[in-house]
Amino acid sequence: MAFYTERRQIPYTFQVIEDDGVNAFATLGGFVYLNTGLLQTADNEAQLASVIAHEIAHVDRRHAVQQLQQAAIAQGILTTGGLDQSAAIALGVELALHRPNSRTHELEADEAGLALLTQAGYAPIAAVDFLQKLLDEPNATPEFLSTHPHPEARIDALNERLDPATASTGKGLNGATYRRRIGALR
Whether the predicted pLDDT of 106 surpasses 90: no
110 is catalytic: yes
Report phi then psi at 127, rounded to 5.
Answer: -65, -45
Strands 13-17 and 24-27, how do they pair? unpaired
Q: What is the pLDDT of residues 138-174, one digit of tens each?
A: 665 544 445 567 788 899 999 999 999 999 999 999 9
Helix, strand, or coil here: 85? helix
Catalytic residue, from 45, 60, 108, 110: name it.
110
pLDDT tens-digit series, residues 72-97: 444 555 444 455 556 555 555 555 54
Nearest by Cα to 59 from 32, 93, 91, 19: 32
Encoded amino acid at 133, one letter: K
CA distance 96 to 70: 14
**Does the annotation mark 43 as catalytic?**
no
Domain boundaries, the chain: 2-181
Above 80 in pLDDT, residue 101?
A: no
CA–CA dist 91, 73 (Å, integer): 11
pTM of the predicted model as reported, rounded to 2 decimal places: 0.78
pLDDT of 33 > 60? The answer is yes
| Given the residues 55, 106, 108, 111, the one annotated as active site | 55
pLDDT of residue 100: 52
Q: Which of 140, 145, 153, 138 is nearest to 104 (CA)?
A: 153
